[in-house]
Amino acid sequence: MGADGGRRADVAITDGVVTAVAERLDVDPGTKILDAGGCVVSPGLVDLHAHLRQPGGEEAETVESAARAAALGGYTAIVAMPNTDPPIDSAAVVHEVLSLGRGAMADVAVAGAITVGRAGDQLAPMAEMADAGVRIFTDDGAGVQDGGLMRRALDYAGGLRARGQKVVLAQHCEDTLLAAGGVMHEGEWSSRLGLPGIPSAAEEAMVARDIALVRQTGVPVHFLHLSTAGAVELVRRAKSEGLAVTAEVAPHHLVLTDQAVAGYDPSYRVNPPLRTFADVLAVRAGVADGTIDAVATDHAPHSPEVKDVPFDMAPPGMLGLETALAVTLTALTRHRGSGSAPGGGEMPDAPGRLGGTGIVLDAGEGAVLDVGAVLALLTARPASIAGLGDCHGGPLVVGAVANICVVDPTATWTVDPTGLASLSRNTPYAGWTLTGRVRHTVLRGEPVVLDSEAQR
Amino acid sequence: MISTADPVSAAPETTSTERHLLSVADLGRSGIAEVLDVAEAFAEVERRSMPKVPTLRGRVVATLFFEESTRTRLSFETAAKRLSADVLSLAVGTSSVKKGESLRDTIETVEAMGIDALIVRHRSSGACHQVARWARRAHVVNAGDGWHEHPSQALLDCFTLRQVWAERAGVPPASMGIDCFDGKRILIVGDIRHSRVARSQVLAYDALGASVSIAGPGSLLPPSLAGWPVTVEPDLDDALTRVDVVSLLRIQAERGSGAFVPSLREYTEHWGLTSRRASRLAPGAVVTHPGPMLRGVEVAGEVADLPSMLATRQVTNGVAVRMAILFLLLGAPGTDPRAARPVPEGVRVAVGSDRG
């Protein structure tokens, strides 16, 4: 199955390349056969947005452990975000992370910082990083606050594009003055819980500014992890205007609302914050109508020591690589096995009493997609945005590099944090039963995951 | 409890429906009524020449205040001592917290010493919820968490109001039941946005059937009032003429709320309970203030000294109310707290027996 739809077929792989796709292939004796009965054979998934924590945060994750988690989640390529320590703001650090990724269980691409130290003051050496292979630049973790600096970055990136390096600037849209120290979505729940809120306007103001800058410069911007109805609508209008913008959404913004914070469990602290039910529906609608191009994990590991603290003192972020496909399939497709999440048990405080849990799991709450459309959000479209389309994202045709994910779209499984390959445990989905399971992952012809087990 | 259970060997079981007091919502209307009635009995104890009962002898109560406090901490410690509990007090400034010990490790260390109740104040909203998740056996009492809640303050406010209304009616407060709040009009004025007292008061007053309204500068109201059983009074001068109770809140400069208004002078001019404004109050209306009071800012000095200002009485009542909270959480294992009497006939007042 690819972005263009699917058909029933066997896929032959030789020396890391797809050599035949046909309804019934004859096999030579001695050929290794992967059973894909009842499954969808998809291009390997591509994640535009993963925090690998290396260098500098190896207690939470390493490139190796993140790539293992990625392979188990069906990914064959992940883009490493630059908010490491030191940050990825020079060719030297780009090379270091790329070399850490060599031999990992998924291909590792690197995003470089837009500004030195991600401090928002001075342009980072984007040309030298582009020469080292970087195609996405972002200060993710923070947005570029200074509109003048962002404009210069776009002009500079435009110059790189003119010489054939198809770079894109990716923005974490949050006006820090409007966010003003907030730790969750500003609204009903932040007001009840007495937690400082991040208003939707903090995201939307920067989306609107950057759309104006795209209109001004003609240089594309990719919007990271959009979370508000207003931001989705701004991107929808920009696209209808023909502007060069793309956007992603994180799985948790498809299935969780700010009400999940009601028990003050730091597992639900994330940035952008979990928004309202109306925002969840709007984001899903944006996915359905093509406003949103990709689902990206925002995989953000944190060790238990830093996460098991009062809510406002915990760093924002959730694991995502091993659950993204299943969460997205459960949320957006109709399926026989329905997903479920533990109700009051996980959040014993306010939600039980006030009704609801902040979990919007089932498809049918708004948009419903078919499995192929969901896979396109996780394969072809992110591969294209990341400049990885040569080797990743399909289509699975003769001659394609054999990066493949075999997924059983109806298998159900229950998320057990202790069973995750990530070095961290900060998943918000503990105990959730999800529909859609990765059976095999093939990286350049090598089966790195077989029957849902990592092979190395 | 008192007659049969041995307070030394008795396991600290849940005596009320909730093991902890994290929010006024943990109590509900009947729970609040229970606290007020038990507190009445303890207020009687306080009037004795030896205001002490052996109820919690052998129990250990720890106060863990990670944020400054005068009255709340002293009030809880006094309450625990009058119940004959042993009291440990963690001085955060000189503790391992300063060495970088995590809150969780601090809680687990303190609890490992056999603590029965952890009374916690913390600058983070929800910190007590986390402590309750970590605590293996201790009861957790929220003594103020960030902007979220301050349940014991709201309870002592309720207690004080009922006491005043009972005095006017010439009846014992407990005989008024809880219905005396029905239809009462209570106006909370000031920095609602950053106030844990306001959040607890709204829950308590609403649960008791009062009609709650709020007033304050737009920048100090919560960003959303969805789900809040309150109305907003846009005109303070007008609202003051129509209420039975005014609950004043402090401008919390230490929480940055100073930047939410142009100046304290402007705040006082438009939202302070000045003498002029106080004269608009209906006859019989009373004013509460959780303290510490900033005279000349949210309340004029001469208004603070009026008999209708209940602040000092609130402080006095805080001890009895906190005794009730501790009793209901820690006392009377295996008995229905509704039936239990904290100071039944025949209980010896433990003169001279206390060494804790």
Q: Do the chains contact at B223 and A263, CB–CB below 8 Å? A: no
List strand residue ranges (DSSP E) for A9-149, in order.
10-14, 17-22, 40-43, 45-50, 75-80, 107-112, 136-137
Residue with tokens 């009687």: B44
DSSP 8-state assignment for residue A61: -
Residue B312's nearest CA partner among B290, B331, B342, B338 is B290
Percent of chain B whose pLDDT exceeds 90: 75
Do residue B224 and residue A191 have CB atoms under 8 angstroms apart? yes
Residues of A in contact with B226 (CB under 8 A): 187-188, 191
What is the DSSP pairing of strand A446-450 with strand A433-443?
Answer: antiparallel
- Quick one: tokens of B353? 């027996």
Question: Which residue's structure tokens are 């970590």?
Answer: B134
Question: In this complex, do A188 and B23 lie within 8 Å of one another by their Cβ atoms?
Answer: no
Residue B158: pLDDT over 50? yes
Q: Can you tell me whether residue A189 is helix, strand or coil?
A: helix
A310–B228: do the CB atoms touch at under 8 Å?
no
Name the residue among B22, B124, B226 with its Cβ closest to that of A313. Answer: B124
Contact A311 B225 (CB under 8 A): no
- Across the interface, do B199 and A264 touch by the CB < 8 Å criterion? no
Which tops the pLDDT comparison, A371 or B354? A371
Tell me, what's the pLDDT at B258?
A: 58
* Half-sphere exposure for A393 (CA within 13 Å, toward CB): 20
**Which three-class secondary structure state does DSSP give residue A114?**
coil
Name the residue among B102, B194, B227 with its Cβ closest to that of A309.
B102
Q: Test B130 with A311 for CB contact under 8 angstroms.
A: yes
Residue B85: φ, ψ to 5°: -75, 155
Neighbours of B66 (CB within 10 A): 20
> Phi and psi at residue B317, in whole multiples of 5°?
-70, -20
pLDDT value at residue B255: 59
Cα–Cα distance measured from residue A328 to residue A57, given in angstroms and rounded to the nearest whole number? 28
Burial environment of residue B48 by CB neighbours within 10 A (0 to 12, 13 to 18, 19 or more): exposed
Whether residue B125 and residue A187 make contact (CB cut-off 8 A), yes or no, is: no
Query: Which has the closest alpha carbon to A82: A169, A140, A152, A5?
Result: A140
Residues from chain A contacting residue B227 (CB–CB below 8 Å) = 188, 192, 354
**Mean of pLDDT values over B53-72:** 92
Which residues of chain A fall short of a pLDDT of 70?
1-5, 335-339, 342-356, 363-365
Chain B positions contacting chain A at CB under 8 Å are: 22-23, 25, 102-104, 122, 124-127, 129-130, 145-149, 194, 196, 199, 222-228
Break chain A down into helix, strand, coil percent, rounded to 5.
35, 20, 45
Coil, helix or strand for A170? strand
- Phi, psi angle pair for A78, to nearest 5°: -135, 145
- Given a contact cutoff of 8 angstroms between Cβ atoms, the answer to whether A2 and A43 are in contact is yes
Q: How far apart are CA B268 and CA B218, in angstroms?
A: 15
DSSP tag of A380: H
CA distance A364 to chain B (A): 26
Q: How many CB atoms within 10 Å of residue A446?
A: 13
Distance of residue B318 Cα from the nearest chain A Cα, in angstroms: 23
Tens digits of residue pLDDT in B165-186: 999 999 999 999 999 999 999 9
Question: Which residues of B are less than 8 Å from A266 in CB distance?
Answer: 130
Q: How long is chain A?
A: 456
Cα B140 from Cα B133, distance rounded (Å):
10
Q: What is the pLDDT of residues B292-321, one digit of tens each?
A: 898 999 999 999 999 999 999 999 999 999
- Measure the CA–CA gap between B60 and A239, rounded to whole angstroms: 65
Q: Residue A265 belongs to what H/E stretch?
A: none
Interface list for chain A against chain B, based on CB atoms closer than 8 Å = 186-188, 190-197, 199, 263-264, 266, 305, 308-313, 349-350, 353-354
Phi, psi for residue A409 in degrees, rounded to 5: -75, -10
Among A177, A192, A257, pick the best mutation site for testing chain B contact (most B Cβ within 10 A). Answer: A192
Mutate to test the interface with B, among A185, A186, A191, A347 (most CBs of B within 10 A): A191
Q: Which residues of chain A lie closer than 8 angstroms to B145, CB-CB?
A: 194
Residue B101's pLDDT is 84
| B319: phi then psi, degrees, rounded to nearest 5 | -65, -50
Measured over the CA atoms of residue B316, residue B318, residue B323 and residue B324, the dihedral's sign is: positive
**Burial class, A454, CB count within 10 angstroms (exposed 0-12 / middle 13-18 / buried 19+):** middle
| Residue A386 DSSP one-character state | T
CA distance B103 to chain A (A): 7
Cβ within 8 Å of residue A5, ≥6 positions away: A372
Is A309 within 8 Å of B148 when comparing Cβ atoms? Answer: no
- Residue A415's closest CA among A376, A361, A365, A363? A361
Q: How many CB contacts within 8 angstroms connect chain A with chain B?
A: 78
For residue A127, the model assigns a pLDDT of 98
Written in H, E and C, the secondary structure of chain B is CCCCCCCCCCCCCCCCCCCCECCHHHCHHHHHHHHHHHHHHHHHHHCCCCCCCCCCCCCEEEEEECCCCCHHHHHHHHHHHHCCCEEEEEEHHHCHHHHCCCHHHHHHHHHCCCCCEEEEEECCCCHHHHHHHHCCCCEEEEEEECCCECHHHHHHHHHHHHHHHHHHHCCCHHHHCCHHHCCCEEEEECCCCCCHHHHHHHHHHHHCCCEEEEECCHHHCCCCCCCCCEEECCCHHHHHCCCCEEEECCCCHHHCHHHHCCCHHHHHHHHCECHHHHCCCCCCCEEECCCCCCECCCECHHHHCCCCECHHHHHHHHHHHHHHHHHHHHCCCCCCCCCCCCCCCCCCCCCCCCCC
CB–CB of A310 and B127 under 8 A?
yes
CA distance A77 to A392: 7
The pLDDT value given to residue A233:
98
Say if residue B350's pLDDT is above 70: no
Residue A119: strand pairing partners: none
Q: Which two tokens stand for residue A309?
A: 């603290």
Q: What is the 3-state secondary structure (H, E, C) of A196-235?
A: CEECHHHHHHHHHHHHHHHHHHCCCEEECCCCCHHHHHHH
Distance CA B192, CA B180 (A): 25
Alpha-carbon distances of B11 from A12, B129, B221, B251, B275, rounded to whole Å = 68, 23, 44, 43, 54
pLDDT confidence of residue B344 = 41
CA distance A184 to chain B (A): 12
Cα–Cα distance measured from residue B234 to residue B221, given in angstroms and rounded to the nearest whole number: 11
Q: For residues A184 and A172, is the Cβ–Cβ distance under 8 A? A: no
Q: List chain B residues with CB under 8 Å of A192.
A: 199, 227-228
Rounded to whole angstroms, what are the CA distances from A129 to A80, A121, A142?
A: 14, 18, 20
Q: Which of B26, B102, B121, B125 to mutate to test the interface with A (most CBs of A within 10 A)?
A: B125
Tokens of A77: 């390529």
Cis before B229 (ω within 30): no
> In this structure, are residues B232 and B214 in contact, taking their beta carbons and an 8 Å threshold?
yes
**What percent of chain B has a predicted confidence (pLDDT) above 70?**
86
Residues of chain A with Cβ-Cβ distance to B224 below 8 Å are 186-188, 190-191
> By C-alpha distance, which of A320, A358, A344 is closest to A434?
A320
Q: Which of A187, A264, A308 sits opposite B224 (nearest CB)?
A: A187
Determine the pLDDT at residue A336: 55
Q: What is the pLDDT of residue A338?
A: 55
Distance between CA atoms of residues A329 and A335, nearest Å: 9
Domains delineated in chain A: 10-454 (3.20.20.140)
At B331-345, the pLDDT tens digits run 865 433 333 444 444
pLDDT of residue A342: 66
pLDDT at B43: 94
Of A205-219, B13-27, B101-115, which one has max mean pLDDT? A205-219
Contact assignment for B25 to A353 by CB distance below 8 Å: yes
Find residue B62's DSSP bridge partners.
B88, B118
User: For B124, which of A191, A310, A349 is closest by C-beta distance?
Assistant: A310
The per-residue DSSP string of A322-335 comes to: TTHHHHHHHHHS--
**Separation CA A6–CA A380 (nearest Å):** 14
Catalytic residues of A: 298
Residues of B in contact with A263 (CB under 8 A): 129
Chain B residues closer than 8 Å to A190 by CB: 223-224
Domains of chain B: 24-149+318-330 (3.40.50.1370), 151-313 (3.40.50.1370)
Strand order in the sheet with B286-288: B230-232, B211-215, B185-189, B245-248, B286-288
Please list the residues that pair with B65 across neighbouring strands.
B91, B121
Between A191, A264, A353, which is nearest B225 by CB? A191
In order, the DSSP letters of A388-446 are -TTTSS----TTSB--EEEEEEEEEEE--GGG-SSS----TTTT-EEEEEEEEEEETTE
Question: Which strand (E) or helix (H) includes residue A15?
Answer: none
